[in-house]
Amino acid sequence: LTGTSREQRAFQYVLAHAIPGDPHHILRTFDQWCYHCEHLSCVGPDKGRIVERVLLERAPLRVLELGTYCGYGTVLLAQGLPPGARLYTIEGDPRHAAVAEKVIRLAGFSEQTVELIVGPSEEVIPRLREKHGLMNANLVFMDHWKRCYLRDLRLLESHQLLAEGATILADNVLFPGAPHFLQYAKTCGKYHCKVHRANLEY
């Protein structure tokens, strides 16, 4: 009715109520909107704690996020990075990327810390090393289209973009589900798998 997308409405709420430069407060403001106004497919606070724990345990210097959406997961990842780390995030929808860019910068993260790349993941991944300088990633967070999880994991493998001992964190593999990705991860012999039980966001 307003002529704006729900992602834009959420950003306007965040802009009006969140403290600029405070990533934690920006995430909490997003949560308030999603609990009380409109649902967004963000990571949310419950699964966010799992992401935070993995970041603390791994302390990755090079992080790749597939599926920026509104920038919630990006801010969550960026605030947990160790000093000198860099985050590359890929979003296929230019409208979502436009919102995410504003959210990321509002949270206080510069392009030196967080680089947002707009384009289909299957086109961007093969160019990550040559065009964006990502030699390999210590942590990959997958939160885009579930049907793309396996394809993109294989692309990362074939382009040698996974550092030795890299961690792949994939959201919603049970529901809505990414069964082929899950089967591959469990049976290919390259990965140790752990399923984190969690609720759907909000």
CATH number of the CATH domain containing 92: 3.40.50.150
- Count of domains observed in the chain: 1
- Cis peptide, bond prior to residue 176, ω within 30 of zero: yes
Q: How far is CA 84 from the centre of its chain?
A: 19
- Cα angle 77-125-40, degrees, rounded to a multiple of 5: 45
Is residue 95 included in any domain, yes or no? Answer: yes
Domain that holds residue 144: 6-188
Dihedral sign, Cα of residue 33, residue 170, residue 121, residue 136 = positive
Query: Is residue 202 in some structural domain?
Result: no
Domain assignment of residue 155, yes or no: yes
Active site residue 201: yes
Q: Taking the chain (202 residues) in consecutive chunks of 10 residues, what is each chunk's mean pLDDT? A: 87 98 98 96 95 97 98 98 97 97 98 98 98 98 97 98 98 93 97 92 89
66 belongs to a structural domain: yes
Which position among 172, 186, 190, 194 bears the catalytic label?
Answer: 172
pTM: 0.96
Q: Which of 152, 171, 190, 199 is catalytic?
A: 171
Domain-located, residue 123: yes
Whether residue 200 is contained in a domain is answered as: no
Find all residues with CB under 8 Å of 134, minimum gap 6, and list them. 62, 64, 88, 128, 161
Distance CA 108, CA 101 (A): 11
Q: Annotated catalytic, 123?
A: no
In-domain check, residue 199: no
Catalytic residue among 91, 101, 138, 146: 146
At 3 the pLDDT is 82
Q: Tell me which of 31, 65, 101, 143 is the catalytic residue.
A: 143
Q: Let me know if residue 183 belongs to a domain.
A: yes
pLDDT, position 200: 85
**Residue 120: helix, strand or coil by DSSP?**
coil
Question: What is the structure's pLDDT at 1?
Answer: 57
Question: Rounded to whole angstroms, what are the CA distances from 37 to 16, 34, 45, 68, 104?
Answer: 15, 6, 16, 21, 22
